[in-house]
Structure 1
Amino acid sequence: MIPPIRLRPMMLSDLDYVQTVETGAHNQPFITSWERAQHEGAVRFPDFRQFVIETGPGCERSGLVILQGCRNAQKSVEFKRIVLQPKGLGRVCVRLLKQLAFRDLHAHRFWLDVKKLNVRALTLYASEGFVEEGRLRESVRAGDGYDTLIVMSMLDREYDARVALGQEAPA
């Protein structure tokens, strides 16, 4: 059973935890981590929303989420990053983030890019209604080589259709 999950706004006091999770051996191959100064800037910049994922009755830190473009005039919100520790919370977190993007931020488009080698995330995003838009071939460093980023998105009308079909929680 998945414990209750909540998103708490990230604070500067969380940055040691954030850096530890991002640079963890199980996460590093799948994300492009930021330096501390980047996180500090994003905490202060209103176009970003950074959250610490907390689980269970003790509100234990279980990961982080970054959204970008939250004040974007085009209503295009980027799902910049999710890092989970432990694994297994992805689906419930993605559903919570879709609610946040479409219901609270009134996004028209909710989009992300994901490394091609991250098959688990690609499968999850596709099963949650994200549609592949294209590929940025060999656009990020990965070990001794490069990896391709796959761009995926969901539009507000697609989200609304999923709600109508019972695939998303109603408002």
Structure 2
Amino acid sequence: MNSVTSVRLRPTMLSDLDFVISVEQDPLNRKFITPWERTQHEGAVRFPDFRHFIVEAGAGTQAVGFVILQGCRNPHRSVEMKRIVLQTKGQGLGRACVRLLTQMAFRDLGAHRFWLDVKSLNTRALAFYRSEGFIEEGRLRDSVKTDDGYDSLIVMSMLESEYQALRDAREAGGV
């Protein structure tokens, strides 16, 4: 596996939405997410409670995916990683992106809790999020319709104190 050390997040512009929609509609991604309508993405770009970013990697400004945070103004300091969709897989971009988003949630947005949900059939993502320090909180049984029936959503989170401990361990070279 190649290791890409740097990813950049830049605010999504309305002119990026054709790319965003194409990434969501890709059959490799579609089964793991519930795609949005263009108007939903437009709202997320414009509404201050959201942060909608294009993920860039490599030497230039090559767009490789997008991410959405929601709850950025949540009075309970609970920020959701609403969506992360990457075209380029197997190069460490997801890990770099999640670490950047986690740092942003706790350091920049003042989160107390950073959370996400993931389809139970997405076992690779579940293992990945666990490896990044997210803890399973519960299961929303058969809560999303799929082409084959229904799937459950697994709710996972990381608390501010857990993030701090993980960050300290990484800085000390333990993780």
Range of TM-score over shorter length: over 0.9
- CA RMSD between the two structures: 1.4
- Secondary structure at the counterpart of residue 27 of structure 1: helix
The structure 2 residue matched to 1:140, chosen from 113, 132, 144, is 144
Question: Normalised by the size of structure 1, how large is the TM-score?
Answer: 0.96
2:164 is equivalent to residue 160 of structure 1: yes
2:119 is equivalent to residue 119 of structure 1: no
Which AA in structure 1 matches 2:54?
A: V
Structure 2 partner of 1:130: 134
- Take 1:41 and 1:53, find their aligned partners in 2: how far apart are those partners? 19
- Take 1:113 and 1:125, find their aligned partners in 2: how far apart are those partners? 10
- Take 2:170 and 2:85, find their aligned partners in 1: how far apart are those partners? 27
The structure 2 residue matched to 1:22, chosen from 21, 24, 43, is 24
Aligned partners of 2:55 and 2:64 also within 8 Å: yes
Structure 1 partner of 2:114: 110
Aligned partners of 1:162 and 1:168 also within 8 Å: no
Summarize the alignment of residues 1-80 of structure 1 with structure 2, pairs less than 5 Å apart.
Answer: 1-80=3-82
- Take 2:88 and 2:172, find their aligned partners in 1: how far apart are those partners? 24
Q: Give the C-alpha shift of residue 167 in structure 1.
A: 6.2
Number of equivalenced pairs? 169
The structure 2 residue matched to 1:90, chosen from 66, 89, 94, is 94
**Distance change in 2, residues 1:167/1:142 (3 Å):** farther
Q: Give the C-alpha shift of residue 168 in structure 1.
A: 9.0
- Secondary structure at the counterpart of residue 123 of structure 1: helix
- Secondary structure at the counterpart of residue 32 of structure 1: coil
Question: Normalised by the size of structure 2, how large is the TM-score?
Answer: 0.93
Which AA in structure 2 matches 1:18?
A: V
Name stretches of at least 5 consecutive residues in structure 2 with no aligned partner.
none
- Secondary structure at the counterpart of residue 45 of structure 2: helix
Q: Give the C-alpha shift of residue 24 in structure 1.
A: 0.3
Moved over 2 A (4+): none
- Secondary structure at the counterpart of residue 46 of structure 1: coil
Q: Percent identity?
A: 66
Which AA in structure 2 matches 1:157?
A: S
Aligned partners of 2:71 and 2:79 also within 8 Å: yes
**Distance change in 2, residues 1:126/1:167 (3 Å):** farther
